[in-house]
Structure 1
Amino acid sequence: MSAQDYAEISTLMQAYADGLYHADSKALRQVFHPRLAYVCATPGDELHLDLETYTARIDKRTPPSETGDARDDRVLEIKLATPQLAHVTASMALMGRTYLDLLTLQRTPEGWRIVTKVFSYVPMEKS
């Protein structure tokens, strides 16, 4: 992977985490591919959404940044499969849950975009 690819994907991932933390659907539209496949793979909460349905849900969400939610997001792995295809594994803790995201990225004329978001979560233990 070139240093430029790594930097572009890292920047995209920071925008992704910021968009989720601030519940900013406009910012998230800049990181997601227009034909996004959003899939929750948590047992009992399986879900498949498209970009429009998902961002409508984001618009109804109280931003974790406004509720004082602690933020812990990490990129665990970035793999470039081809010059046009990458895979990112990320974790995030917010809204009382710990998430594991498996993201497929595609290079588009506009830059790297998340085309699939498949994730699972577990509730955080209350202290």
Structure 2
Amino acid sequence: MSNAQVNDILSIVQVYLDGLYEGDTAKLRQSFHPASSLFAVAADGKLVNMPREDWCKAVESRPSPKANGQGREHERILSVDITGPNTALVKLNCAILPRFFTDYLSLIKLDGRWQVISKTFVAETLAS
């Protein structure tokens, strides 16, 4: 694992975090591959499988954390695991209050740049 690889991966993860915080779907589209999806387990125990464009529409329909005056103190990169020249996994925390997220971002390197190909996440509601 080279420092350049780690820096490139962290750079695209920062674009994702900025897009999420700002509600900027152009940044989300830049960081997520067009074929990507988001996965979670819903409250009813069923699989949530949300394609990137459906997610972007949801982001566009809600106020951003930035617009709500939320800080970014919950953002943390917990781990970066590079498993080859073209695959990596990043675990991170972020929040859209009152929900606190743990994200697992699977990344691939295509055409010389890293992109998120899938996001698996869990959300918890923070006590006020």
**TM-score tier after normalising by the smaller chain length:** over 0.9
The aligned counterpart of 1:116 is: 118
Identity %: 27
- Count matched residues: 126
Q: 1:25 to 1:110 in 2, by over 3 A?
A: farther
1:12-32 Cα distance to aligned partner (Å, 9 max, x none): 111111100011111110000
Query: What is the 5 A alignment of 1:24-103?
Result: 24-44=24-44, 46-71=47-72, 72-103=74-105
Residue 100 (structure 1) shift: 0.4
Say whether residues 1:2 and 2:2 are aligned partners: yes
Residue 82 (structure 1) shift: 1.0
The TM-score normalised by the length of structure 1 is 0.93
1:37-86 Cα distance to aligned partner (Å, 9 max, x none): 21123543742111111111111111110111132211100011111100
Query: How far apart in 2 are the matches of 1:8 and 1:50?
Result: 24
In the alignment, structure 2 segments of 5+ residues that lack a partner are none
Name the SS for the 1:83 alignment partner. Answer: coil
How much is the aligned-residue C-alpha RMSD, in angstroms? 1.4
Runs of 4+ in structure 1 off by over 4 angstroms are: none
Contact 1:12 / 1:31 at 8 angstroms: preserved in 2? yes
Contact 1:104 / 1:115 at 8 angstroms: preserved in 2? yes
Query: How far apart in 2 are the matches of 1:64 and 1:44?
Result: 26
In the alignment, structure 1 segments of 5+ residues that lack a partner are none
The TM-score normalised by the length of structure 2 is 0.92
- The letter for the 1-side match of 2:56 is T
